Structure 1
């Protein structure tokens, strides 16, 4: 292998140690199985092509030469040396132990030829080696499932693994020979060092490092617009280099709608299962044909297929898929609906269900809680706590980040800082780091000032010249520490309103149904509720229970089927739709947007409105489509408040907002003088703001005592049932 190593290094000088270790492992473990150069090319050709820009013929020639080296035959020069007698060809096996016993008098000479002496500290402990090999063998048997699993893996390589069923998913697969023979050096850990990411002229990350250990769950956080989503997309598209054998899936786009049922759509995400079932059907068809029953090869392959199906628990897959769909809010009836019958939000849930079912080596989730109601979020939190592979999730839900991640990755100042523990632990550790760094900076500044004072005092004193020079050199060697730059605090401020005397808002025996409702069923009936300017009300319930419909009835967008609504004559609603951000004019800047909707005011007034929601400086003059999701939401808030509403009706206002902005929104809603009714699934915001909870469900809207804690108990009982 030493000659092979030198040859590989000479042909591929840019190959890194990880890839070389991978290639070496394949060659070493499979050298006795290779019969020709084509088999070597099948095993390592793909990797070698990635290392250097060589043609297929060149790589095939290199593989043939590597095979000759492995088999003991070198190049023509070596053969010529053998002919000239430089190397002797042995006519039979040589037992070196016997030679050592018979040549004791020449032992020193023999050692110089045959024996490489080593330091005892480098010797391998036999017992430890046996234990390590046993553990490795168990892992390999579990991973490959021995021969039965190999059948499944060979089948899966023939399947179309990159169908765009659950969005932007990039799954890299290995050739079957790599699967079966290259089991060494296939670490599932990911380490990307010293990389840069830019978006146009803007640098998002510079000299950053990212390490993802297999089996850990990482929460990826940071302010809006710093590049979190961009990083996930670059990982999924393989623009950042990760090991080719790691399967990556990024849940980013909704499932395409067709006639496939929701349940089958999830089952199809398991390509191994689909490949096994497809091959079984093909073999059964061959058996039914005349003469197929007597073909022993078909029978043997079918037996292996059944063994692989049993190992992959194919029979349990429908129940597992159904359980995931149920947890994400799909009733048993809905699981049989075709995917084309679902709205975009539900198709995103299907994409998430497919990802959870297929279990890639690295799962990338970007704000998964945005599409879920509180019940589904609680289920997802519990499900991901036992996630077996690596998870990288961008989220701004404080409760989710306290429950799911084992580590926090914090994006700040174009770098990624890693912290152990959940978000609560991150806050404590981050605070301690910043305080220690600030103390260290201040101590160094004091030391610099003291030394500089000495230098300035005795700079021109000949007797102190040597001391001054040593002090100057000491200052030059001191590391450059910087003061801790704290991120600017996010502030949101809603405009002041004129007080109104009650009653402000009242619903009396309100019922509603859509004309398209099956069997003319009512969404809710007999609703009796009241609200005032002091109200801080949150509407909760499962998706489809009528939360958004109730908001539209309150604001007058929809009329109740029965009952009446009493509104104060001076009541003016400000309605923030969950799709409000998507309805902005993306081709203008925020200042121009306000000018178009509320003309006739000076530019300074528009900038003041935007500044109330953190859209300041150059942000106010950037084209809206270039802003992050959270920044667009703040522009939408400014647009809503430019009309001076005195009652705020907010539908999912936290979507796309970062943690700091959600905290600022909670404080702003608590201090504003307008009434507030909101629909939200963010537990942190609900606890910060709301004093009253309206629950939609079972064709009613009711106010429950005990607030969010009581509602959460009800949900947990339902999930346990």
Structure 2
């Protein structure tokens, strides 16, 4: 229809002929596809916005409204007018004869000659329902409802003022406000009518129980399923760096795109000069390039990148190695280094300490205390949360509450707030009970009738307080065992290397452990902590030396990558039944319940569990064999703060010996009686514990 083309060319005079023909084809299709002007905007709005004119989104919507008026002009409906009063009673008495008149009072005259196909009607209603959902003023995430695949979805209501400022490009605020948004994972609602406010330059720690949606929230922000101002740059450290021939140092320097582009321009100019093409324009261009390089302090970039890499554990030799030569854990560190170097306006970190040793964690804590832009970090490391954040965001009950200060201040404030709410609730319930007792006592006493009515009205006006939510206390319980008489385990002059040609990992290691031992092993990544554990449990054989153990020793081992050792396509009960057959179901349930996996959770597939739940399942599996000596390799990686505290208490109450490799300083403080330090090809017991080790690390950092 030429009317469509006329409207489009009037508003978009520079439109290409082929584009206008395409739009005409869309509009001349099935008219039933377009129920409102919003449907037309959904179909061609992006094309019109991308033409390159100065027209705003509001202007494009006006154009779509004109097109809709042409497509569906208003149809006039004729109604039968009443020329005189109608006596409904008389009409009802003679309903059969006057049925048509009766109808004419209420019903618009329609042509009933066309019969409705019920199947077509159902199809049309389904289509209309889809369009109505699409037209809601929300932004939806990539919800794949097909099959049983569950994905995260986000919806958000926009502030009209902010939307107008954003469309006009005049919003320059660096603060972030995401208002009235919902978040869900499959059918599970994670957040409802929530609000997230991030002030520029503040450092926020996001905390809450496992499985409530902390990581999902970060992902929705980074993928822009939850909208923030477009001028704010976001970087989410979630995936490891892809390995190639680029060196680790160059991989970090590449993040400074301005410097990289200027250096390339300099290279091109110098090449032209080397080829004999030298003129005033090239010299001017070079002068501008050098001025800009000086302005962005490009000469300091290499030193800055090197300092960050060194702090995260990359030696000078490692910084020269290609990225493809590093393992997944080191590539994650490299991704973190790139993020720290590029300094985005909003940095999102999800459990950054999981991939780091204590030395690197201490460096990162110090580095982030001077972070210049906005930081939002999910962490379960209590010490990290006490050191880095200026504010804590607490995710609970499908909402977000913000508290000023670090985790320790948040915990005190939250505890006092809950106590006050509980006191207020109990006081009101006692008051209500007292008033209700008076009402019940004198309800039928004529002399007290006015007092009773007054009391009833007073009760109705009282604000109804909800009972204070009580968080479920996490409890872990290791098996009851009899302690073994010493000596339980002894390592005598142990040495180890993986092959004749590989470097030596250990030499001359002599240590011992008993049933009352609470040993924590620390050291840099690659120093041999996990290797030492595998030697102790017998997975690896020492090159030389002797290991002696008690004849009744039963070791329980929690591997760092425990998920790799769990069968995914069975239920929690089924997993224990496969590993330890022949026991009654109640015993499997009791074992799982000792680690917080109870009720319907015990019947879920292992693959559907969160990381923390899989860790607790691995604990349950380990303890099913009734070990009297437990070895834990990085047990806190997927656990929330409450579960880490429960783990510490379980270790303290256990009657057998414990060896733990961990970077969680709080857990080490809770349980450690002896500290073993891996490094320089040996393992030594350190007097003074974790505090002495931290002093040594800080001294090394000062000497760097």
TM-score, normalised via structure 1 length: 0.74
| Matching of residue 695 in structure 1 with residue 695 in structure 2 | no
Instruction: Please list the CA deviations of residues 484-535 of structure 1 after superposition, one character each: whole Å capped at 9, or x if unmatched.
Output: 12211111111122332222111111111121755xx321211111111111
| Distance in structure 2 (CA, Å) of the matches to 1:675 and 1:60 | 68
Cα RMSD, aligned residues only = 2.7
Instruction: State the secondary structure of the residue aligned to 1:489.
Output: coil
| Matching of residue 570 in structure 1 with residue 556 in structure 2 | no
More moved, 588-597 vs 461-470:
461-470
Query: Are the counterparts in 1 of residues 201 and 375 from structure 2 also a CA contact under 8 Å?
Result: yes
Instruction: Indicate which of 337, 343, 357 corresponds to 2:321.
Output: 337
Instruction: Indicate which of 367, 375, 379 corresponds to 1:383.
Output: 367
Instruction: Indicate which of 293, 306, 310 corresponds to 2:290.
Output: 306
| Matching of residue 436 in structure 1 with residue 420 in structure 2 | yes
| Matching of residue 349 in structure 1 with residue 333 in structure 2 | yes
Matches within 5 A, 1:3-402: 53=42, 55=45, 58-59=48-49, 184-286=170-272, 293-294=278-279, 296=281, 298-402=282-386
Post-superposition shift, 1:208? 1.4
| Distance in structure 1 (CA, Å) of the matches to 2:644 and 2:270 | 58
| Distance in structure 2 (CA, Å) of the matches to 1:198 and 1:61 | 36
| Distance in structure 2 (CA, Å) of the matches to 1:65 and 1:377 | 51
| Matching of residue 674 in structure 1 with residue 659 in structure 2 | no
Instruction: State the secondary structure of the residue aligned to 1:238.
Output: coil
Q: 1:715 to 1:499 in 2, by over 3 A?
A: same
Q: 1:467 to 1:360 in 2, by over 3 A?
A: same
Match of 1:581 in 2: 563
Instruction: State the secondary structure of the residue aligned to 2:316.
Output: coil
Instruction: Please list the CA deviations of residues 215-249 of structure 1 after superposition, one character each: whole Å capped at 9, or x if unmatched.
Output: 11111111111111111111111111111111111
| Distance in structure 2 (CA, Å) of the matches to 1:196 and 1:687 | 39
Instruction: Please list the CA deviations of residues 533-561 of structure 1 after superposition, one character each: whole Å capped at 9, or x if unmatched.
Output: 11111111111111111111111111111
| Distance in structure 2 (CA, Å) of the matches to 1:59 and 1:654 | 50
Post-superposition shift, 1:304? 3.0
Match of 2:528 in 1: 546
Q: 1:473 to 1:306 in 2, by over 3 A?
A: farther
Post-superposition shift, 1:452? 3.0
Instruction: Please list the CA deviations of residues 414-449 of structure 1 after superposition, one character each: whole Å capped at 9, or x if unmatched.
Output: 111111001110111111111111122122223323
| Distance in structure 2 (CA, Å) of the matches to 1:271 and 1:199 | 36
| Distance in structure 2 (CA, Å) of the matches to 1:465 and 1:189 | 59
| Distance in structure 1 (CA, Å) of the matches to 2:350 and 2:194 | 20
Instruction: State the secondary structure of the residue aligned to 1:250.
Output: strand
| Distance in structure 2 (CA, Å) of the matches to 1:382 and 1:516 | 41
Query: Are the counterparts in 2 of residues 629 and 656 from structure 1 also a CA contact under 8 Å?
Result: yes
| Distance in structure 2 (CA, Å) of the matches to 1:440 and 1:523 | 61
Query: Are the counterparts in 1 of residues 204 and 390 from structure 2 also a CA contact under 8 Å?
Result: yes
Post-superposition shift, 1:58? 4.4
Post-superposition shift, 1:477? 3.2
| Distance in structure 2 (CA, Å) of the matches to 1:400 and 1:37 | 57
Query: Are the counterparts in 2 of residues 490 and 661 from structure 1 also a CA contact under 8 Å?
Result: yes
Match of 1:522 in 2: 504
| Matching of residue 479 in structure 1 with residue 469 in structure 2 | no
Query: Are the counterparts in 2 of residues 193 and 208 from structure 1 also a CA contact under 8 Å?
Result: yes
Query: Are the counterparts in 1 of residues 171 and 229 from structure 2 also a CA contact under 8 Å?
Result: no
Post-superposition shift, 1:457? 4.3
Query: Are the counterparts in 2 of residues 37 and 64 from structure 1 also a CA contact under 8 Å?
Result: no
Query: What is the aligned length?
Result: 561
Q: 1:704 to 1:238 in 2, by over 3 A?
A: same
Instruction: Please list the CA deviations of residues 583-635 of structure 1 after superposition, one character each: whole Å capped at 9, or x if unmatched.
Output: 31222221111111111111111111111111111211112222111111000
| Distance in structure 2 (CA, Å) of the matches to 1:446 and 1:304 | 78
| Distance in structure 2 (CA, Å) of the matches to 1:210 and 1:678 | 38
Post-superposition shift, 1:302? 3.8
Instruction: State the secondary structure of the residue aligned to 1:702.
Output: strand
Instruction: State the secondary structure of the residue aligned to 2:578.
Output: helix
Q: 1:228 to 1:61 in 2, by over 3 A?
A: closer
| Matching of residue 608 in structure 1 with residue 590 in structure 2 | yes
Q: 1:245 to 1:522 in 2, by over 3 A?
A: same
| Distance in structure 1 (CA, Å) of the matches to 2:467 and 2:474 | 21
| Distance in structure 1 (CA, Å) of the matches to 2:50 and 2:284 | 34
- Where do 5+ consecutive residues of structure 1 fail to align? 1-35, 39-48, 70-180
Q: 1:465 to 1:233 in 2, by over 3 A?
A: same
Post-superposition shift, 1:279? 3.0
Q: 1:300 to 1:480 in 2, by over 3 A?
A: farther
Post-superposition shift, 1:317? 0.8
| Distance in structure 1 (CA, Å) of the matches to 2:295 and 2:500 | 47
Query: Are the counterparts in 2 of residues 216 and 390 from structure 1 also a CA contact under 8 Å?
Result: yes
Match of 2:493 in 1: 509
Instruction: Please list the CA deviations of residues 379-412 of structure 1 after superposition, one character each: whole Å capped at 9, or x if unmatched.
Output: 0000000000111111111111110010111111
Query: Are the counterparts in 2 of residues 510 and 527 from structure 1 also a CA contact under 8 Å?
Result: yes
